[in-house]
Structure 1
């Protein structure tokens, strides 16, 4: 396509937006409302996924070493665990460290446990993390069969429920996002279709004077693109501003808990770019699908 022709298409698409002010407003409004819903839902789902990942990262296997095991036996057990394919890291935690952690976990009530410092009844522990948190149960079952693994703890019963909930929430979130996007495309397509139907004579005249389908499509293609971009502006402003205040508020509430929201930067910039791309694609798709029926021979 020649540069002069492309400039003409750009110019005509912008003029058309101005000429059809109310229809442009209606189309942009449809894009805006839809992208606000999509954006809010993305914020919620991405942060829920972040929380899920944080919870998964906290999952660990605690292997209590048999009190009869000597130093060589402990090293041998650790080496055997490290050779398990699913294992990521293995850290040795002596019983003195375990007692200190127990005392700290009880706060002021933990003072009573200091009586055990001279005669510590706890076991040495190997703290195991898997490469994939969902392999925790399978890995724990393998470790239980090893010699000198007196007790293996990984939150049995609770872990299974946690993984099931995370998997279910991710699947539901994916289905809802896809459904919302298709709904958005349908709504915006219908809105843009009304705009194009109001200009069907313009299309018919262009065809009568010999314009090709590609030549006719380009202004509408660009029009849909501009509508999508314009419709993304307000959602970006609203969601960015709201997320700033929400992030600052919840960051204080979640302080001291090993759960964090996605950082404002770069998350909001990534989301803004995503909304612009979605808006542009939906606008272009809606325009092309709507104008196609008028170009059939």
Structure 2
């Protein structure tokens, strides 16, 4: 396409936005409202996903070694666990360390457990992590069958519920976001259809003098792009400032915990770029669907 023709299309698309002020406002508002909702859902879902990932990384299998096992037996058990393909790491934790961890976890009340330092009743432990947290249950069952694995703990019952909740939350979030996007596309498509109907005579004249479908489509294509970009500006501003204050409020309170929210930078720039891209794509798609149908004159 020649540069002069492209300049003409750009000029016509901008003129159309100005001529159809209320239609432009309605279309951009449809995108704005939808992208605000999408932006909020994205912020919530991506932070929930971060929290879920952090929780998944905390999942581990604790293999209590039989007290009858000597050093060689422990070594053999450790090697067998390491050979399981789904296992990421195996760390040996002696019973003295286990007792110290127990004392520290109870704080002042843990002082009473220091009485057991001379005659430690705890077991040596292998702390096992899997490559995929979802493989935890399967790996635990394999280890339970091994010799000298006296007890295998991994939060049985709670872990299954956690993974189920995480999976369902992600699926629900995806469905909601996709539904909102299609709603925005439908609204923009119908708004641009009204614009095309109002200019149908103009399109017919252009067709009669030999204008191609591509030549007629381009201004509408660009018009949809501008509508999507304009509609994305306010959601980007709102999401940026809202997340700034949210992060400033929550980050200090969560500091020191194993749960953290996504850092303001670069997350807010990523979400802004995503909203701008989505706005542009929504506008383009809605315009293309409308023009495709109404150019059949």
TM range (shorter): over 0.9
Shift of 1:70: 1.2
User: Does 1:250 pair with 2:260?
Assistant: no
Q: In the alignment, which residue of structure 2 is the partner of 1:237?
A: 237
Shift of 1:196: 2.5
User: Does 1:118 pair with 2:105?
Assistant: no
Shift of 1:253: 2.6
User: Does 1:68 pair with 2:68?
Assistant: yes
* 8 Å contact kept, 1:35–1:235: yes
Q: 1:12, 1:97 → 2: CA distance?
A: 75
CA deviations over 1:199-221 (Å, ceiling 9, x no partner): 22222222222211110000010
Q: In the alignment, which residue of structure 2 is the partner of 1:220?
A: 220
Displaced runs of 4+ in structure 1, greater than 3 A? Answer: none
Q: 1:171, 1:201 → 2: CA distance?
A: 46
Q: 1:100, 1:14 → 2: CA distance?
A: 71
Matched pairs, number: 297
Shift of 1:36: 0.5
The two structures, once aligned, show a CA RMSD in angstroms of 1.2
SS in 2 for 1:293: helix
In structure 1, list runs of 5 or more residues that go unmatched. none
Shift of 1:154: 0.4
* 8 Å contact kept, 2:189–2:287: yes
* 8 Å contact kept, 1:193–1:286: no
Q: In the alignment, which residue of structure 1 is the partner of 2:96?
A: 96
Shift of 1:167: 1.3
In structure 2, list runs of 5 or more residues that go unmatched. none
Q: 1:15, 1:177 → 2: CA distance?
A: 33
After TM superposition, the structure 1 stretch with the greater mean CA deviation from structure 2, 198-207 or 281-290, is: 198-207
* 8 Å contact kept, 1:30–1:191: no
* 8 Å contact kept, 2:89–2:129: yes
After TM superposition, the structure 1 stretch with the greater mean CA deviation from structure 2, 82-91 or 161-170, is: 161-170
Q: In the alignment, which residue of structure 1 is the partner of 2:262?
A: 262
SS in 1 for 2:233: helix
Q: 1:21, 1:246 → 2: CA distance?
A: 36
Q: In the alignment, which residue of structure 1 is the partner of 2:10?
A: 10
Shift of 1:73: 1.2
Q: In the alignment, which residue of structure 1 is the partner of 2:289?
A: 289
After TM superposition, the structure 1 stretch with the greater mean CA deviation from structure 2, 148-157 or 14-23, is: 14-23
Q: In the alignment, which residue of structure 2 is the partner of 1:79?
A: 79
* 8 Å contact kept, 1:88–1:131: yes
SS in 2 for 1:64: strand
Shift of 1:48: 1.0
SS in 1 for 2:294: coil
Shift of 1:128: 0.1
User: Does 1:170 pair with 2:170?
Assistant: yes
SS in 2 for 1:260: coil
After TM superposition, the structure 1 stretch with the greater mean CA deviation from structure 2, 39-48 or 188-197, is: 188-197
TM-score relative to the length of structure 2: 0.97
User: Does 1:187 pair with 2:187?
Assistant: yes
SS in 1 for 2:59: coil
